[in-house]
Amino acid sequence: MTKRRHLPALFATAALATAACTDDESPEDGGDGNDEFPRGETLYSTGTAWGPPGDFNPISAGGVTGLSGLGYEYLFVFDTVEQRLSPWLAESGEWTSGNEYELRLRSGVEWSDGTPFTADDVAFTFELGKIEGVPYANVWDWLETAEVVDERTVRFRFAEARRQEWDNLLYTNEIVPKHVFEAYTEDELRDGPLDANPVVTGPYEVHSFDEAQIAWVKRDGWWATEALGLEVRPRYIVDLVTLGNADILNMLVEGRLDLANNFMPGVSDFLQGEPELSTYFDKPPFMAPVNTAMLIPNTTREPLDDPAFRRAMAHAISPGQIVDAVYGGMVSEAHPTGLLPIWERYYDAEAVGELGFVFEPSTALDLLAEAGYRDEDGDGFVETLEGDPIEMQIIVPAGWTDWEAAARSIASDLSDVGINVTAVFLDAAEVDAARENGDFDLLINNRTWVTNSPWSHFHYLFELPVRDTQRLANFSRWEDDLAWELTQELATLATDDPRYPEVIAELQRIAMRDLPAIPIWYNGAWSQASNAVWTGWPSGDTDTPGAYPSFWNEMWGLGGVRMLTQISRAD
Per-residue pLDDT band for 62 (boundaries 50, 70, 90) equals: low
* Count of C-beta atoms within a 10 Å radius of residue 256: 24
pLDDT at 265: 86
Q: Residue 16 has what pLDDT?
A: 32
> Band of the pLDDT at 571, cuts 50, 70, 90?
confident
Q: Using one digit for the tens of pLDDT, what is the confidence trace for 192-236?
A: 889 999 999 999 999 999 999 999 999 999 999 999 999 999 999
- CATH 3.10.105.10 maps onto the chain at 289-524
Query: d(Cα 552, Cα 261) in Å, to the nearest integer?
Result: 8
pLDDT confidence bin for 296, thresholds 50/70/90 = very high
- Share the mean pLDDT of the chain: 92
- pLDDT for position 546: 73
Count CB atoms within 10 A of the CB of residue 99.
Answer: 15
pLDDT at residue 449 tops 70: yes
pLDDT for res 487 = 98
Class of domain 9-68+202-281+527-569: alpha beta
* The pLDDT value given to residue 28: 40
- pLDDT (average), residues 467-490: 97
The C-alpha angle with vertex 550 and arms to 545 and 556, in degrees rounded to 5, equals 80
Q: Are strands 213-218 and 204-209 parallel, antiparallel or unpaired?
A: antiparallel
- Position 519, amino acid: P
pLDDT of 110 higher than 70: yes
CA 412 distance to own-chain centroid: 28
Query: 338 Cβ partners below 8 Å, 6+ apart?
Result: 292, 294, 448, 457, 461, 511, 517, 519
CATH of 73-186, one of 3.40.50.300, 3.40.50.20, 3.90.76.10, 3.60.15.10: 3.90.76.10
The 10s digit of each residue's pLDDT in 392-408 is 999 999 999 999 999 99
Residues 546-565: tens digit of each pLDDT: 789 999 999 999 999 999 99
Q: Provide the CATH number for the domain formed by 289-524 in this structure.
A: 3.10.105.10
CA 362 to each of CA 314, 319, 353, 415: distance values in angstroms, whole numbers, following the listed order = 12, 16, 18, 13
pLDDT greater than 70 at residue 15: no
512-558: per-residue pLDDT in tens?
999 999 999 999 999 999 999 999 999 988 766 678 999 999 999 99
pLDDT tens digits, one per residue of 478-488: 999 999 999 99
- Cis ω on the peptide bond leading into residue 285 (within 30° of 0)? yes
Mean pLDDT of 481-509: 98
Ranges 20-24, 26-30, 306-310, most confident: 306-310
340-352 pLDDT, tens digit each: 999 999 999 999 9
Per-residue pLDDT averaged across 112-119, rounded? 98
Which residues make up the CATH 3.90.76.10 domain(s) of the chain? 73-186
Task: Give the pLDDT confidence score for residue 50 in this predicted structure.
Answer: 86
- The whole-model pTM stands at 0.90
Looking at residue 536, what is its pLDDT?
Answer: 93
In percent, the amount of the chain with pLDDT more than 90 equals 84
Integer Cα distance of 344 and 334 in angstroms: 11
Report how far residue 88's alpha carbon sits from residue 74's, in angstroms, rounded to the nearest whole number. Answer: 7
